[in-house]
Homo-oligomer: A and B are copies of this chain.
Amino acid sequence: MSVPTATALSQHIADVPLIDQHVHGCWLTAGDRQRFENALNEANTEPITYSGFDSQLGFAVRAYCAPLLGLPRHVDAHTYWERRREFAEAEVARVFLRGANVTDWLVDTGFAEGVAGVDEFAAACGGRVHEVVRLEQVAEQAAQAPGDYAAAFEEILHRRAATAAGTKSILAYRGGFDGDLTEPPAAHVAEAAERWRDSGGVRLRDRVLLRFGLHQALRLGKPLQFHVGFGDRDCDLHKTNPLYLLDFLRKSGDTPIVLLHCYPYEREAGYLAQAFNNVYVDGGLSINYLGARAPAFIARLLEMAPFSRVVYSSDGFGPAELHFLGATLWRKGIHRALQQFVDAGDWSEADAIRVVDLIARDNAARIYRVD
């Protein structure tokens, strides 16, 4: 391994505290090795039949997480697992969360099975925690509430959002972006809500109600995050091309819209960030899963998107390694990309340091008002 010379840029990147603008809880209770290895595979919804360590993410865990457990870099998978299980899960969480150098975590509470709630997470990480409210969960709460669905949705959304940093949509998992995303008339909403309530009111897939929720979120005005691209195979990846959001974005006004993950559509997402004053992009989940290939991805995120329109997140869920590794791989990747721009004479080092600050925290602090 070559040892790069420390520069003002590399030092700045190593030190800058981050805002992780989209994350989930981490595990706090013990689990077996199968749970851990499956957590290193995002896309497969079945038990994997091979080692989850045999992937870019698995190799990155061995390279960068091992030292925090007192192990050498690149330690073998078996030794990593054996060492990890010597610690209580809460202790693992404490070590990795605090190792990430993140000051503010924006936690999506819409899916939290088996992971820390907001308060537990706050205790473990030692930083500030802000909630992100998932719109489909608000819908499911409104379906169970008495009276008019639309009024219930609006009431719950405003109540929950009052103390939250923003909202999030998983439309990508509920039919995809392709098709009409205009605001539905009230009568259609009422009919759709009645149908959905009659059928149990769980796992919202009704397009009318999904559209209704999005427009309520626009009206709220807090940043609205979209899951875009890479996720598990329940989602039809080809229906999550963010370009299908064009008509929606054309009518989205000033509400910040944040496109998360984006793989393999990060160039399309960057284009949208240039095309609309209110659109932001984030590599999210993809960075962890790309491991050694994350620098190439991060560089592509820096193509068409204005630098004031790029933010950071880990999308960590489950093993706290992911919350730490997201930050670590982002630091490595942004350094590789920007140092290359500087070395080529395309950017000054001061340019690079300024862009690091924008992405690491300034852009997120501004739109989420968390500083």
Contacts and interface: CB of A to CB of B under 8 A. Distances in A.
B1 A342 contact: yes
A109 to B, nearest CB: 26
A318 to B, nearest CB: 16
B276 A44 contact: yes
A298 to B, nearest CB: 11
A241 interface: yes
Given A267-B263, A303-B290, A274 B346 contact: no
Interface string A23-52: 000000000000000000111111011111
Interface string A268-300: 100110111100000000000111110111011
A96 interface: no
A293 B299 contact: yes
A293 B340 CA distance: 10
B268 A42 contact: no
Interface string A242-281: 0110100010000000000001100110011011110000
Given A292-B346, A299-B293, A44 B307 contact: no
B50 A292 contact: no
Contacts of A350: 74
Interface in A199-253: 230, 232-233, 236-238, 241, 243-244, 246, 250
Nearest to A305: B55
A343 interface: yes
A303 B308 contact: no
Interface of A: 1-2, 41-46, 48-52, 54-56, 59-60, 62-63, 73-74, 230, 232-233, 236-238, 241, 243-244, 246, 250, 263-264, 267-268, 271-272, 274-277, 289-293, 295-297, 299-300, 302-309, 332, 336, 340-348, 350-351, 358
25 contacts: A1-B343, A2-B343, A41-B274, A45-B275, A50-B277, A51-B308, A55-B306, A59-B346, A63-B346, A74-B350, A230-B304, A233-B246, A233-B250, A236-B246, A237-B268, A237-B271, A238-B268, A264-B267, A289-B303, A290-B303, A290-B304, A292-B340, A292-B347, A293-B302, A296-B299
